[in-house]
Amino acid sequence: MQPQEVTDAAQRIAFLALTDPSTRPLQLHKIPELDRDKDKLPLSRQVRYYDAVGPETISMVEMLKRFAEFQGNNSFRPVFIDYRNMERVLNVKSLGNLNRQFVSLLRSEQGAKLPILGNPVVWESLLGEGSRMITLKQAFCNEEGKAINMSMSRTFPYLTTIRWVIANPRVIVPGIYLSFEILHSFFFGPPKKIKDDLPL
């Protein structure tokens, strides 16, 4: 996981949308598929692709821990779940930006023997030498290193969740199974087969 600040991504996406492709930076890293099947693929050797990642390489657990700390929670304790029940819930109704496709992407990446780690160099160079992507700490902390939102307390949205369940009753059964998974992981640790799966 290589997070980036939303403004950084927005600026670069705008740049890509408004500029001539031939004037953009060229990704110099090799593309194995092109080298292996270059006679079969109708793609130019000058193909440009941009790995939209930030300057930090951290795990999902570390990212969630940092966000908790930025919000004043220094006792973050992750739980680990399998993907099946979460996907069954999301098949009925997405939870904001958390949808089935996102969970499937996490599963495919984390289940790979050699997970791909993005290279931010070319993405960072899109706006020129004077523009740099910022880290999570730079985005969420002030100059003294204190989290900007330390005073913002957050609680679980129980009422919103109840309304969501009432509006989508088919989430109840997979939701119960998912809740048992979460409670089991919290009190006893994750089962061995899912110890590296999706953290909450």
Establish if 155 belongs to a structural domain. yes
For residue 96, pLDDT beyond 80? no
Domain hosting residue 186, numbered range: 6-194
Number of domains in the chain: 1
Q: How far apart are CA 56 and CA 3, in angstroms?
A: 7
Q: What is the pLDDT of residue 179?
A: 92
- Residue in 33, 35, 14 with CA at minimum distance from that of residue 24: 14
Please tell me the pTM assigned to this model: 0.66
Residue 141, strand partner residues: 147
Instruction: Count the Cβ atoms, other than its own, within 10 Å of residue 162.
Output: 10
Establish if 200 belongs to a structural domain. no
For residue 33, pLDDT beyond 60? no
Establish if 1 belongs to a structural domain. no
Residues 77-90 have pLDDT tens digits of 888 888 888 889 99
Establish if 199 belongs to a structural domain. no
Please, are residues 150 and 72 in contact by the beta-carbon 8 Å criterion? Answer: yes
Establish if 20 belongs to a structural domain. yes
Establish if 26 belongs to a structural domain. yes
For residue 37, pLDDT beyond 60? no
Q: What is the pLDDT of residue 103?
A: 83
Higher pLDDT, 21 or 180: 180
Establish if 121 belongs to a structural domain. yes
Residues 98-135 have pLDDT tens digits of 788 878 777 776 666 666 667 788 888 888 888 888 88
